[in-house]
Homo-oligomer: A and B are copies of this chain.
Amino acid sequence: MYVVLVYDISQSENGQKRWSRVFKICKKYLSHIQNSVFEGEISKVQLVQLQQELKPYVDKDLDSVIIFKSRHERWLDKEFWGKEEDKTSFLI
């Protein structure tokens, strides 16, 4: 399936470190397209793995992670303005 993952990690409670862990984990599975936004094709199994890896670093009272899931990428048109992030997906 095709997913868009957006996260917001609070600066408090060691937030900078959590942000960077979340970033690195997402980057293992998805492409980085904006500051805290990732996208890409991912299997159900991989998505569960991703969620398991993220869990320890996402504080449910402070942070939020939203995952939009679509069965096909073609169901989602994407419009992009402005500067593009690096495209080094699947690398850390």
Contact = CB atoms under 8 A, between A and B. Distances in A.
Interface of A: 4, 6-8, 33-37, 58-71, 75-85
Given A8-B34, A8-B35, A82 B59 contact: yes
B62 A83 contact: yes
Give chain A's interface secondary structure class.
strand
A46 to B, nearest CB: 14
Nearest to A54: B81
Given A34-B8, A35-B8, A66 B83 contact: no
Given A35-B8, A68-B68, A58 B78 contact: no
Contact of A34 (B6, B60, B84): B6
B78 A63 contact: no
Given A8-B34, A8-B35, A62-B83, 7 more contacts: A4-B68, A60-B83, A64-B83, A65-B82, A68-B77, A68-B78, A70-B70
